[in-house]
Structure 1
């Protein structure tokens, strides 16, 4: 009974932490015109508000592992949440505060990105698959809700107050984290045994870590490119901006249940191979519809398919961090390397595809390029699965 209760409490803690992983970033684009007008920002400076956090993810993720080793996972998370809460308050007064606050937002979320998988491995490794599902599903749900309500709240209460509200979940999560026991739970004996030699190789020399980093980077590039340009693609098919906005919200929220279910399919290699094949089909069907068809119902289908696919592939990436890690310390180090490389690749995606679109002149040819990258992404995934099987991470 006691263990079950602890599991419920920890699940809620994971939800609270995950709620902060995109909130302060996703909440800005819908109200960015208000921010731009208030601070008299140029288009380039306005675009930097969404680029800065991605660059923080890329450059700072690898530095979080040493912080975790020094402070411990719990204290690192507490520090990150406090930084996030203060940063959102700082963003609302002067232009330099907006940019400084955005840097701290990026740094705080970076620490949470790396620390949360490590916390899961540390506290409940036997339940990592389900908790990773809770983690990623929460991100999708919160992102969709914030994307939908940010403008109405900003119109009613002002954009400054709206941004300050982003601090509330960070404060709640901080208080909940204080209630977590300090005692670390060791990896249970029921966990699959790992080859003894694997732990002797430095993490940065392990080929499967770099392969996972490449996989994370390619899927992140595709996702953030879709986030940046999907409304434009939809309006190019004749949809109104309002309709495109609703479809964009559907794209974000539809993946939530699949983000929860995907980790349950990562315990056997056969399941992983089926998953990879399904992800490849999802990428090609979704982008194929956007390339060749204009019917509204098909565009809705494309948003549904792409939302499910991108959420599932992201969940797979995060789950593999805990799957190939033998200790919480390894999870932090592996997560740092994987997410640093992944988000550095992702940060250039929207810009590169914007240049491709400008060069080629329209969206179909640009989407064909993205389809090719998605195929490469899945091929890397199939190769990663074989390496994972060889190292007996799953059976």
Structure 2
């Protein structure tokens, strides 16, 4: 099984080992969104050179999400056989290969590299929250906040620098996307020490273990967490894919629209850090879920009903804060609604599998509806409806409880650590 609390890796017992582990987590997190958010601001440039439609442009975001959906349930199983540290390292190597492949001069390579990036991110998306629960059982909220801030900070930077790299430095969209290989290389190097202090791979799953996993899929609470995860992810990926186009259609320059997306993501950072801490300090998170949904509702409604230029940053910031707090709360549900590390990984895999499958529909559907209607009104109305769904799911997921019975030994170990 994913390592129990009584087998905490000895590396965290030293200051150097702890610092290296935190650095490794921060760098992995930095790679989880930046390669995707770098695309939105230069999507027009990519379309202009390659000739792809809005629907196919949406697929550049949808492909990674489909990879998340297909591979998320498999990540815990791979980690049990290969070890969590080695599995995360392999994910970084695949990510680097995908970034490089996506940057060569071929539409086929563009989409193939994008798919590889999705495969790599799917692995870390699932395993890092479980790694945090395993190694930092008494500081899950703080470490989740650090992990989330690193992810969103680099995502914001990626949105803002894509056009300056592409047009300002004259490297084109391939150079803008390929530049993120440098971060992947640094992350690979930083994760190497973790391989020397890895935990042993776990035994092959028994029939009893399988029954425990199956019970998770029959839990109504687990499905509410999955829906909450999926809808907040849908909002994020629609935002980074199409907000630049929406803002440019309303008269904003490409550079300004790109930086507006960066502002949205920078606005999310405080909420991304503090939401996991707030959630970890209370047993019931329904009030927090209501706050998250309200931010999305007000932000999307503002974009729908007014074209006033000076109000646009306000709506963008509200959506950004909603995205940051929504992600932080969703990830915390994996720890707060489970009793063991193994179950946390299984919950993460389930939520990200079906959740990202739901999110994958968003960018492509958004682009298709825009192509069909020639405007953004209907797509924004659908986002408002989805925000109501997020509210309902959050009211269920935020209520105190656990998704299913967990392994007694792990639960006992977890209890002893709290």
TM over 0.5: yes
Residue equivalent to 1:127: 139
Aligned-residue offset at 1:270: 6.5
1:244 aligns with 2:254: no
Distance, in Å, in 2 between the alignment partners of 1:53 and 1:71 is: 23
1:231 aligns with 2:244: yes
Distance, in Å, in 1 between the alignment partners of 2:373 and 2:47 is: 29
Residue equivalent to 1:190: none
1:267 aligns with 2:280: yes
Unaligned runs of 5+ in 1: 186-197
SS at match of 2:32: coil
Q: 1:200 to 1:57 in 2, by over 3 A?
A: closer
Q: 1:24 to 1:387 in 2, by over 3 A?
A: same
Matches within 5 A, 1:115-264: 115-155=127-167, 156=169, 158-159=171-172, 160-180=174-194, 182=197, 184=199, 202-264=215-277
> What do the CA deviations read for 1:28-53 (whole angstroms, capped 9, x no partner)?
33344555566x45335544333211
Aligned-residue offset at 1:355: 4.3
Distance, in Å, in 2 between the alignment partners of 1:24 and 1:242 is: 18
Residue equivalent to 1:295: 308
Q: 1:333 to 1:31 in 2, by over 3 A?
A: same
Aligned-residue offset at 1:201: 6.9
Aligned-residue offset at 1:357: 4.6
Match of 1:78 among 80, 89, 94: 89
Q: Is the 8 A contact 2:163 2:255 kept in 1?
A: no
Distance, in Å, in 1 between the alignment partners of 2:261 and 2:396 is: 32
Distance, in Å, in 1 between the alignment partners of 2:300 and 2:60 is: 28
1:277 aligns with 2:290: yes
Residue equivalent to 1:189: none
Aligned-residue offset at 1:238: 4.3
SS at match of 2:69: helix
Match of 2:78 among 51, 57, 67: 67
Residue equivalent to 1:93: 104
Q: Is the 8 A contact 1:286 1:305 kept in 2?
A: yes
Residue equivalent to 1:20: 31
Distance, in Å, in 1 between the alignment partners of 2:160 and 2:242 is: 17
Aligned-residue offset at 1:88: 2.0
How many residue pairs match? The answer is 382
Q: TM-score, normalised by structure 2?
A: 0.81
SS at match of 2:398: helix
Q: 1:81 to 1:283 in 2, by over 3 A?
A: same
Residue equivalent to 1:328: 341
1:107 aligns with 2:107: no
1:48 aligns with 2:63: no
Residue equivalent to 2:323: 310
Q: Is the 8 A contact 1:49 1:99 kept in 2?
A: yes
Residue equivalent to 1:30: 41
> What do the CA deviations read for 1:178-213 (whole angstroms, capped 9, x no partner)?
22362559xxxxxxxxxxxx9697322232222211
Aligned-residue offset at 1:369: 2.9
Q: Is the 8 A contact 2:91 2:120 kept in 1?
A: yes
Distance, in Å, in 1 between the alignment partners of 2:232 and 2:403 is: 23
Distance, in Å, in 1 between the alignment partners of 2:45 and 2:316 is: 27
Q: 1:382 to 1:269 in 2, by over 3 A?
A: farther
Distance, in Å, in 2 between the alignment partners of 1:79 and 1:302 is: 39
Aligned-residue offset at 1:129: 0.9
Q: TM-score, normalised by structure 1?
A: 0.86
Q: Is the 8 A contact 1:129 1:263 kept in 2?
A: yes
> What do the CA deviations read for 1:98-135 (whole angstroms, capped 9, x no partner)?
33322211111111111111211221122111111111
SS at match of 1:316: helix
Distance, in Å, in 2 between the alignment partners of 1:126 and 1:147 is: 34
Distance, in Å, in 1 between the alignment partners of 2:268 and 2:224 is: 24
Distance, in Å, in 1 between the alignment partners of 2:38 and 2:162 is: 6
